Structure 1
């Protein structure tokens, strides 16, 4: 038999020498026992036979593992980058740092809440939002109850125009009167009556949504009539019209549109097949919790900061900057709560109850790279309405793209701020500050 190679012979001699070393025997004993236990349990799991041991490991692998624990073994064997270096930072997982930031954020905000409660006490006042006096404030209640008259008037106008009982120009004039009245009427009522902040805000919010829906209702039906007339004359269009659309709107389609979580009218919508009742209850509970949190932040933080900022804003510029920065954090929290409550919870609740299928009420605006991209993504119902009824009509009428974007932005800004600006209890341009 040929003698073993020198390398194997040297390794064999080292293994015998290591076996005689008592310190190495003590150091290897726990690891060997743990390895034996792991091998035994692993063999039991793999083979399914209790107590059946696996085959012994490779001797060369044992020698390599024993050599790695020696003091003379090299600890540095290849080139490596630090985890936070510029070459390796994007190849690492930063989940631990994100968790650390969340812990720090919770700790800092908890301290601020305790500090605020120790300084001001509990400032929640129900009368600021909804008082017993507002229950007897019947003009606001009557105004809200009479708003459905305007959609019914718009439906009657469409029926008369469809049957050619009135001229097209007269129909457009009636729609203009209806849509103007649905905004002017609540504004006059709010300015004439002293009401709680929440009551006036909700009334103007409902009136603004009704205005947007009625404009879409009138514009869509007018466009359907124009397309149907041009098709009758033999003109070709890229889009076809269903027979149900040519028949005109019905009371059922109008009622569904006024209740649906959309601002763009169409005779039919994508629908789901059933309602998840348990899911709706969970979302309602979340909506109540986040609404209460939003009210707590406004009462405990925003109102005291605004009240204490009236005089410093007239004096030192640094005091004004400090107040604005101090106001920015709770205002951001209120905006996030409001966005989550309305766009995610409330609109999804309405969509679930009405089996409304298209639930893209927002996109991932938190990943927006520009302000323009952010405005296109955070409020999809208004964005679709603006594109459909403002932007492309301006383009079709010969306006430049820049002018069309400016008009679209101004219309969007007016109807985003009108509920807050009409009700004098809120800070002017409150919504813009939150953005």
Structure 2
């Protein structure tokens, strides 16, 4: 018995001798302070320890920013010394205005042609709403109309590619992709409304009596059809507009508003602002003008020489020089991508939203804090994310497919359009962009593994690494294939 007590005391003394700061009790701390030796030590952890609770690293952030600025300034000087000043605003004007295109400006003709599928879509919707067309026949026409819309740039640019400028072809493909997504949403939302409208009409059956309120409501709906302004007048003191109901939304003004609005998801009643903020509008306009010049300047001065210099090492499969070219191209490409993100998702979309009184400005979320790839794709491009969830992911799950299968289908469609936007303008049909998007699925597993086992910081590092290195690698591959396809004789 006495032996056990001695073991307990020894274990107790051994526990108290541990040097970890959190093991020292408050009682011992008070006793130490009462000693005449004037103690200056207290239990605390080093600042770089996770247990310290210290999180103010502002000085280190400033140091890193200054170091990056100095390194970037050195690269700028090196670029100017090696290549001289390559920035040429006159050439920007020629490229952006399409003056280097062939006769007739085929890019503008293709953009104007989008009115044809728009009118076909609206006419079919009116026919379905009036029960002139059968549902199956109307859906067949819609599917053919939307698919042909995507195929037109592929065929025309392939056949008449020499008359298109690169910027013009890219603009056409981008607009046609946006039209495809918007028309898909328009058709699907009207189908939802039409189904519910018919169910309500079938439940009500034959009306036995008509009330005064119903007659007034019918007169208001008749007025909206004649006015075509998409808003039913309200004579209340608050002047709150009454919601538009199906099929009163089926008119050109409503459709064109949706086509111009900074969203891909159609609604019968969009949230609206009451006025245009002039100061906010001027800021966004200046940002668009200045941002375009910055992006064009970076591309002309920094990107083009780096991409050209990567051709020979990439062709010879010199891994060391290719890696050096990749890292050198990563910096200007990433700066351009960040400028393009701000220019598109903040400046331009807010500009359009302000002009159109569109009040939902959730164009992006805090993607820079994404701890895995899935979170990044859900937050960096909110219009596309909302469209994918609303019109693709949820309908596929409702059909009985698993969430994993729905996610793969979403990435597949996204990969197709990424490839479409690159291969069609370049007339170089490869699969690098497609494979890059499909590679996001296994990369998502890796980033989640890093987040789970090593903390969210490492998951965020994986996200940033994929953004910084993935894009310049794809650019080098497409430039190599484009030059080999079109200028192989000159290179040899």
- TM bucket normalised to smaller: 0.7 to 0.9
- 1:116 corresponding residue in structure 2: 79
Aligned length: 357
Deviations 1:400-429, CA, capped at 9 Å, x for gaps: 211111001111222234222211189975
Instruction: Tell me whether 1:267 sits opposite 2:268 in the alignment.
Output: yes
Greater CA radius of gyration, 1 or 2?
1
1:305 to partner: Cα distance? 2.0
Matched-pair contact (CA < 8 Å) for 1:362–1:378: yes
- Take 1:279 and 1:417, find their aligned partners in 2: how far apart are those partners? 36
**Counterpart among 185, 190, 196 of residue 227 in structure 1:** 196
Inter-CA distance 123–167: structure 2 relative to 1 (3 Å threshold): same
Instruction: Tell me whether 1:434 sits opposite 2:467 in the alignment.
Output: no
- Take 1:368 and 1:255, find their aligned partners in 2: how far apart are those partners? 35
1:302 to partner: Cα distance? 2.4
Inter-CA distance 423–294: structure 2 relative to 1 (3 Å threshold): same
1:134 to partner: Cα distance? 2.3
Once superposed, what is the RMSD of the aligned Cα atoms? 2.6
- Take 1:319 and 1:211, find their aligned partners in 2: how far apart are those partners? 41
- Take 2:350 and 2:67, find their aligned partners in 1: how far apart are those partners? 32
Instruction: Tell me whether 1:144 sits opposite 2:111 in the alignment.
Output: yes
Q: Which moved more, 1:405-414 or 1:142-151?
A: 142-151
1:137 to partner: Cα distance? 4.3
- 2:376 corresponding residue in structure 1: 374
Q: Which moved more, 1:325-334 or 1:226-235?
A: 226-235
- 1:38 corresponding residue in structure 2: none
1:346 to partner: Cα distance? 0.5
- Take 1:338 and 1:243, find their aligned partners in 2: how far apart are those partners? 36
After TM superposition, the score normalised by the length of structure 2 is 0.67
1:106 to partner: Cα distance? 1.4
Matched-pair contact (CA < 8 Å) for 2:129–2:247: no
1:253 to partner: Cα distance? 1.2
Matched-pair contact (CA < 8 Å) for 2:179–2:259: yes
Q: Which moved more, 1:217-226 or 1:188-197?
A: 188-197
Inter-CA distance 96–120: structure 2 relative to 1 (3 Å threshold): same
Deviations 1:58-114, CA, capped at 9 Å, x for gaps: xxxxxxxxxxxxxxx9693645544434433x4241122212222222111111111
1:196 to partner: Cα distance? 2.2
Matched residue SS, 2:100: helix
Q: Where does 1:6-405 land on structure 2 (aligned, <5 Å)?
A: 76=40, 78-88=42-52, 90-124=53-87, 126=91, 129-130=95-96, 132-134=99-101, 136-191=103-158, 192-194=160-162, 195-234=164-203, 244-313=245-314, 314-405=316-407
Inter-CA distance 330–243: structure 2 relative to 1 (3 Å threshold): closer
After TM superposition, the score normalised by the length of structure 1 is 0.76
